Structure 1
Amino acid sequence: MKPLPNECYYIIFKNLRHNYKNLFSCALVNRQWCRIVISILWSKPGHHFKNKKLIKILLLSLNEEEQVQLIPFKITLPNCRKPLFKYANYITSVNDDLSEGVRNWIRYKKGYELEYAIERCLILLFLRICKLKHLSLNGPICDRLILKNLYENTTITSLDIHNNDGGSFKSKATYGLLKILNKKTTLTSLNLRSIQFGSNKLGVEGVKALAFSLYENTTLTSLNIQSNDTNFDLKFYIQSIEILQ
């Protein structure tokens, strides 16, 4: 009998993706099965992003350019032997548990500046080596380089931008997002959470531009906007947006 191709094994093992015990058992059978199972186990880390051991493994994958950005903080990055597999390459979904995982890894160091810097480098890593489908971003780390990589990305279908730590979604990040929306993109789902739309954040012109880009966009099928600014009437600016089908 002819051996099954890897594609068939992948479909079979994917049905066990919620049964970690059996999946791990399959990974011990042979090298072929192990490679396939590892790709499934690491595709959606989910709450495991909170684990500082996972963050340590991910930091081992930073390239020289990404590591250099952390030099000003005088932290010691992991310097142990690299894992057998390039685990980070298999990740297709990044949620906001990443922020908590970074906090757990830096432990005693306080302040958001270091946390944002590490999180930013990890996001750049994911955008560089992963075939992401879903990405959750902490608004304050959305700088020019991340937005540039997002603009060039051709795999992400779902984007979630949030401000869980009380930071601000800068106006330059807004216009970076507009470029992505105006591009013929793969993005079908956009979730903007806890965004401050008041005059001291995005401003009237920023919100108008965002509303117009959303109105003109032809790829989004799901849109969710939540503002934590109770003094700003967002409805006035998005009344022209049709309900996405």
Structure 2
Amino acid sequence: MPFQPLPIECISHIFESFQDNKNLYTCLLVNRFWCRIAIPILYKTPFTRNQERNKSQRSKIISTYLSCLSNEEKIHLMKNSNNKILIPLNNNQLFDYPVYLEEFCNLSLQDMIIHWIILMIKQDFSIEQRKIFHLINNILYPLLISKSKNLLYLNLINVNSNNDNNNNNHFHFDIPDIFTFFAFTPGLTNITRLDFKLYKNNSNLLLNIINLFDIIPSLCKNIQLINFNSKLSFNDNDNRITLRKALCGIIRNQRDLKKLYLRFKGETLNNIIMPTLELQSINLTHLYFKKLRLNDDVMDSLANFLSLKVLGFESCYIITTSDNQDRYDNNNLITNNSNFQLEKLYLVENMSRHMISDIKCLIIRYFSISLQELILDELNFDIVKIISNFCSKIKRLILLATEYESIDLYNLLINLKYLKNLTLWYVNDHTIKVLGNYLPNTLLHLSFIHFICLPFNDFLKDCNIPLESIEIFNLIMNSNNSNSSDHFKPISDYIKIHYNHLKVIYFGKNCDISNEDLEEIKDYVNVKLIDNYDHFPSKFN
């Protein structure tokens, strides 16, 4: 039977699934047909897809983009660089590479240009090279923005690099004149994701970035995801006002905004931003607030966000009004809306100086009716009571508390009859012995972030539930008088006893475990090494 080639759609889907570029570069050399499929995949996300390559390799894309310039533009660039940059003329490219661009990041482009200059000129980045940088920067922006017909993701970043040892960061570059972004069609009009990160204190050096953000409300109507992260100084009030107004304009003008990650250091949510968010209450499914000041009345506003699936409060300062304080003192909690759909709630990095326990109880109670997953940084009697009474059907609990009474944990676990996934930030040696007595029978996955392992201690003694997986991100051997195998023996003994239902055990790459100990348990269970645990998001994807 003759070979039937796969349809283009199938091959493209396979190529898209490759996690690194090495396989794609290999595919380029197979034949022209495969090359035509692989090139658009490689060049639609050149600023994010090439992270596994070193900076010198990544910077070579600048040569590719410069080769797409017209002869006039090439001559202009070479002349103004005193011929330190040489670009072949009349070399027609097989592909118009900028056309495929779907994701643009100003900081990644800046880094690639800097390293390309260093690679080509064979010198460290200096004042003279800075001039060349601006020449290339000012000619590549129009090239990329004018030719990309399907730009979906705009990532504007400037971080404060005062603590960065990279010499390249002695220079802080603004983007070119913002005319570039609205002079071409479609330009930014089709973007569906906007990331904005402004950390640098001297924002006067970044006026074009701020001015671009200010005009985005008039350019973009289809953004579905916004990650906004600003740490501007309180002394920079004019630019803070500009950013705040622009952010409200962007939120207000979107047709179908789904996700918003909002970090605006020291900003008060209620007075300005919250009324704007309410205009998107029908559409928003994800809201995450970080380092914001807000009144507890925000709960009343959020109750109207009936499509909300994920809600987070990280390091937020919640101001309690005197009227609402009576609600907490009398435990007169608000009855939650039966139409509310919240599934995941973060209450993290909100210790007593930010958010008192009573407010945490109110938030949990308020959004409990549909809650499936809770990420929490504190545990006490009142919180246990609220969770047990109002959201006992949660399926995943991540407890990030470092200090709590063991009895509170035990009382909570025996009331969570539907729990399938449990993560504990810290457990002491006593807790790890008796924890198995309190774990619900529904539990399938158990995770420890910091686990201090003592030699010959019992690990999950009397634990008879059919766990399918265990994770230990940071295993610490806490004794100088015995070897690592003595510490690891309780864990290996547990695995050997429960191998019939335990399918996999994960260890963090920094765990203090010998290769011999790992090899010993591989006959009983699948062993996987994993990266460090990210317990709450830095942005939405």
What range is the shorter-chain TM-score in?
0.7 to 0.9
**Relative to total residues, which structure has the larger helix share, 1 or 2?**
1
Deviations 1:200-228 (A, max 9, x none): 4644652452254145233332334445x
- Quick one: distance in 1 between partners of 2:259 and 2:227? 8
**Relative to total residues, which structure has the larger strand share, 1 or 2?**
2
Q: Determine the structure 1 residue equivalent to 2:68.
A: 61
**Equivalent residue letter for 1:126:** L
Q: Tell me, which stretches of 5 or more residues in structure 2 are unaligned?
A: 159-173, 279-283, 286-541
Structure 1 residue 222 and structure 2 residue 259: aligned? yes
What pairs with 1:121-200 in structure 2 (closer than 5 Å)?
121-130=139-148, 131-138=150-157, 140-141=174-175, 143-149=177-183, 152-153=186-187, 154-163=189-198, 168-170=205-207, 174=210, 176-183=212-219, 185-194=221-230, 196=232, 198=234, 200=236
Q: Determine the structure 2 residue equivalent to 1:29.
A: 30
Q: Determine the structure 2 residue equivalent to 1:18.
A: 19
SS at match of 1:42: helix
Between 1:101-110 and 1:137-146, the stretch displaced more is 137-146
Structure 1 residue 92 and structure 2 residue 102: aligned? yes
Contact 1:70 1:117 in 2 (8 A): no
TM-score, normalised on structure 2?
A: 0.37
- Quick one: distance in 2 between partners of 1:206 and 1:169? 13
| CA spacing shift, 1:90–1:152, aligned 2, 3 Å | closer
TM-score, normalised on structure 1?
A: 0.73
Higher relative contact order (CA 8 A, sep 6+): 1
Structure 1 residue 110 and structure 2 residue 126: aligned? yes
| CA spacing shift, 1:233–1:123, aligned 2, 3 Å | same
Q: How far is 1:35 from its partner? A: 1.0
- Quick one: distance in 2 between partners of 1:162 and 1:66? 32
Q: How far is 1:157 from its partner? A: 1.7
| CA spacing shift, 1:69–1:79, aligned 2, 3 Å | closer
User: Alignment length, in residue pairs?
Assistant: 240
Deviations 1:109-165 (A, max 9, x none): 425665355334323222111222223235621523233248842432222334467
Between 1:136-145 and 1:29-38, the stretch displaced more is 136-145
- Quick one: distance in 2 between partners of 1:224 and 1:49? 30
- Quick one: distance in 1 between partners of 2:82 and 2:238? 33
Q: Tell me, which stretches of 5 or more residues in structure 1 are unaligned?
A: none
Contact 1:93 1:135 in 2 (8 A): yes
- Quick one: distance in 2 between partners of 1:91 and 1:8? 21
SS at match of 1:141: coil
Structure 1 residue 101 and structure 2 residue 120: aligned? no
RMSD (CA atoms): 3.8
Contact 1:211 1:241 in 2 (8 A): no
Q: Determine the structure 2 residue equivalent to 1:9.
A: 11
Larger radius of gyration: 2
Structure 1 residue 43 and structure 2 residue 63: aligned? no
- Quick one: distance in 2 between partners of 1:54 and 1:62? 13
Contact 1:59 1:77 in 2 (8 A): no
Match of 1:79 among 60, 65, 87: 87
- Quick one: distance in 2 between partners of 1:164 and 1:151? 30
- Quick one: distance in 2 between partners of 1:156 and 1:118? 24
- Quick one: distance in 1 between partners of 2:26 and 2:108? 27
| CA spacing shift, 1:203–1:13, aligned 2, 3 Å | closer
Q: Determine the structure 1 residue equivalent to 2:513.
A: none
Q: How far is 1:61 from its partner? A: 1.9
Contact 1:187 1:220 in 2 (8 A): yes
